[in-house]
């Protein structure tokens, strides 16, 4: 893969200028983040890397650390088996969400995205108000939004659902796709081209990874049946990944976002247990830190679930574009 095929542009080249003459340093794009280890696509290959201590130290929050889709300056010395990310180049767009109960706060879901596919199932996942929220956040992101409705075969009233969605969508294009049966994928392909990046966002179980498998033509992402009782997904995808498509184009698979109701329950549980837990954990150093953080984290989760707090503002100032005050998509 060339850098252009990975989405490199003159804008990133300009930002990379200070590193251009450094012999050990090359540009790369973050493909996978897993427990602070990154897989980076570089010109003609891939390199595993960690974040430089200096970059971590300088970062004012997790939002300033490398995320999937980011362009980075990567140092790789011949004698080292891993590279080191020394800089994150300024993002063109970034979807962020607040990480409930985590002291590290906001995190970037997908960086440098051209088109964001809001995916919703027409089975029991279908929820007008949630779609409305997704769409609002997608519009605010700066990337072009498009809606993908999956599972038309499981819809109990397809025509009224379509009416509902097209009214809500306004000028945003709506596609009906059955990725399981391989129907309607050409609509999705039309948004993609070499060097262009898409991201799939939606609840667990709506078929995001199935869409990617269909676009690639083989099962590169794990998928799993939803719960029969209520169509809820099983949070199969656990990490974000930038997938290179055979016809050119790139697409970011993301794990289904936690639902608001689940966040509210978690918040209540944390507040209820927070103090007793912190007392129990006091003798252990790490436990004390966790316990002390728990009540605040719980309240934070509740605030987010209810759409409170001003993190969207801070995300905008940190990286240009955010998901709005409520980072939760569900
Ligand atoms: N009947 C039907 N099933 C579908 C359709 N699209 C996807 N599925 C099934 O839905 C299940 C969940 O699909 P996934 O691709 O794992 O869903 P996901 O959005 O990636 O879920 P997470 O990784 O948990 O966020 C799989 O069993 C798919 O085969 C569809 O249009 N119709
Ligand atoms: Mg998945």
Helix 128-140 crosses helix 158-169 at what angle (to 10 degrees)? 30
Ligand 1 atom closest to the Cα of residue 253 is 20
- Judge if the beta carbon of residue 205 lies within 6 A of ligand 1: yes
Q: Is 326 inside any structural domain?
A: no
Going from the Cα of 302 to the center of ligand 1, the distance in angstroms, rounded, reads 29
Say yes or no: 43 and 78 in one domain.
yes
Say yes or no: 147 and 231 in one domain.
yes
Instruction: Go through the chain and tell me how many residues it has.
Output: 330
Mind listing the pLDDT tens digit of every residue in the chain (330 residues)?
899 999 999 999 999 999 999 999 999 999 999 888 999 999 999 999 999 999 999 999 888 999 999 999 999 998 888 999 999 999 998 887 766 566 667 788 899 999 999 999 999 889 999 999 888 878 877 789 999 999 999 999 999 999 999 999 999 999 999 999 999 999 999 999 999 999 999 999 999 999 999 999 999 988 989 887 777 888 888 889 999 999 889 999 999 876 665 555 555 655 565 533 333 332 232 222 222 222 222 222 222 222 222 223 233 222 223 333 333 333
Structure confidence at residue 271 (pLDDT): 56
Say yes or no: 244 and 119 in one domain.
yes
Neighbours of 285 (CB within 10 A): 9
| 92: DSSP letter | S
> Of 157, 133, 135, which Cα lies nearest the Cα of 144?
135
Say yes or no: 88 and 215 in one domain.
no
Say yes or no: 143 and 249 in one domain.
yes
Output phi, psi for 279, to 5 deg.
Answer: -65, -40
Say yes or no: 181 and 83 in one domain.
no
> Which residue CA neighbors atom 13 of ligand 1 most closely?
207
Going from the Cα of 175 to the center of ligand 1, the distance in angstroms, rounded, reads 16
Q: Is 99 inside any structural domain?
A: no
Q: CA-to-CA distance for 211 and 188, rounded, in angstroms?
A: 9
pTM above 0.95, yes or no: no
Best of 149, 210, 214 for a ligand 1 pocket test (most atoms within 8 Å of beta carbon)? 210
Q: Report the run of H or E that residue 257 belongs to, with start and end.
A: none
Structure confidence at residue 228 (pLDDT): 78
Structure confidence at residue 114 (pLDDT): 96
Neighbours of 120 (CB within 10 A): 25
Say yes or no: 248 and 140 in one domain.
yes
Contact indicator for 139, 169 with CB cutoff of 8 Å: no
- Domain end, chosen from 253, 287, 318, is at 253
Q: Is 276 inside any structural domain?
A: yes
Say yes or no: 147 and 223 in one domain.
yes
> Which residue CA neighbors atom 16 of ligand 1 most closely?
223
> Which residue CA neighbors atom 1 of ligand 1 most closely?
151
Q: Is 107 inside any structural domain?
A: no
Domain ranges, residue 267: 260-306
- Judge if the beta carbon of residue 273 lies within 6 A of ligand 1: no
Overall domain count for the chain: 3
Say yes or no: 73 and 125 in one domain.
no
Say yes or no: 87 and 132 in one domain.
no
Best of 207, 209, 226, 262 for a ligand 1 pocket test (most atoms within 8 Å of beta carbon)? 207
Which ligand has the shortest distance to the CA of 258?
Answer: 1
Q: CA-to-CA distance for 269 and 180, rounded, in angstroms?
A: 37
Q: Is 314 inside any structural domain?
A: no
Structure confidence at residue 268 (pLDDT): 61
Output phi, psi for 16, to 5 deg.
Answer: -85, -10
Q: What CATH number is given to the structural domain containing 18?
A: 2.40.50.140
Q: CA-to-CA distance for 183 and 186, rounded, in angstroms?
A: 8
- Judge if the beta carbon of residue 153 lies within 6 A of ligand 1: yes
Q: CA-to-CA distance for 94 and 111, rounded, in angstroms?
A: 4
Going from the Cα of 236 to the center of ligand 2, the distance in angstroms, rounded, reads 5
Q: Is 76 inside any structural domain?
A: yes
Q: Is 324 inside any structural domain?
A: no
Is residue 61 classed as helix, strand or coil in its secondary structure? Answer: coil
Say yes or no: 219 and 282 in one domain.
no
Going from the Cα of 118 to the center of ligand 1, the distance in angstroms, rounded, reads 14
- Judge if the beta carbon of residue 235 lies within 6 A of ligand 1: yes
Q: Is 325 inside any structural domain?
A: no
> Which residue CA neighbors atom 10 of ligand 1 most closely?
207
Say yes or no: 172 and 217 in one domain.
yes
Ligand 1 atom closest to the Cα of residue 203 is 25
> Which residue CA neighbors atom 12 of ligand 1 most closely?
205
Phi-psi domain of 236 (left: phi exceeds 0; alpha: psi -120 through 50; beta: other): alpha
Going from the Cα of 237 to the center of ligand 2, the distance in angstroms, rounded, reads 4
């Amino acid at each position: 893969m060339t850098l252009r095929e990975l989405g490199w542009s003159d804008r990133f080249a300009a930002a990379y200028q200070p590193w251009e003459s450094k012999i050990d340093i090359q540009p790369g794009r973050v493909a996978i983040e897993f427990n602070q280890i990154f897989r980076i696509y570089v010109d003609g290959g891939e390199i595993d890397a960690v974040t430089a201590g200096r970059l971590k130290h300088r970062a004012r929050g997790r939002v300033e650390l490398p995320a999937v889709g980011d362009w980075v300056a990567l140092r790789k010395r011949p004698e080292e088996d891993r590279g080191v990310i020394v800089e994150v180049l300024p993002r063109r767009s970034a979807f962020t969400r607040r990480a409930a109960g985590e002291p590290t706060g906001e995190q970037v879901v997908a960086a440098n995205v051209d088109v964001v596919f809001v995916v919703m199932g027409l089975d029991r996942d279908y929820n007008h108000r949630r779609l409305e929220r997704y769409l609002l956040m997608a519009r605010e992101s700066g990337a072009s939004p498009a809606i993908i409705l999956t599972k038309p075969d499981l819809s109990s009233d397809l025509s009224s659902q379509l009416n509902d969605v097209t009214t809500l969508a306004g000028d945003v294009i709506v596609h009906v796709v059955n990725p399981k049966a391989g129907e309607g994928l050409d609509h999705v392909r039309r948004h993609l081209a070499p060097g262009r990046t898409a991201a799939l966002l939606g609840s667990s179980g709506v078929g995001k990874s199935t869409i990617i498998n269909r676009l690639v033509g083989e099962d590169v992402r794990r998928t799993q049946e939803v719960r029969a009782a209520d169509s809820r997904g099983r949070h199969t995808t656990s990490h974000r990944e930038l997938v290179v498509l055979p016809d050119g184009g790139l697409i970011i698979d993301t794990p289904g976002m936690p639902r608001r109701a689940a966040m509210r329950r978690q918040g209540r549980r944390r507040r209820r247990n927070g103090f007793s837990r912190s007392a129990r954990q006091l003798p252990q150093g790490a436990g004390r830190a966790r316990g002390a953080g728990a009540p605040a984290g719980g309240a934070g989760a509740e605030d987010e679930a209810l759409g409170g707090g001003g993190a969207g503002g801070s995300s905008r100032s940190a990286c240009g574009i955010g998901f709005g005050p409520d980072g939760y998509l569900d």
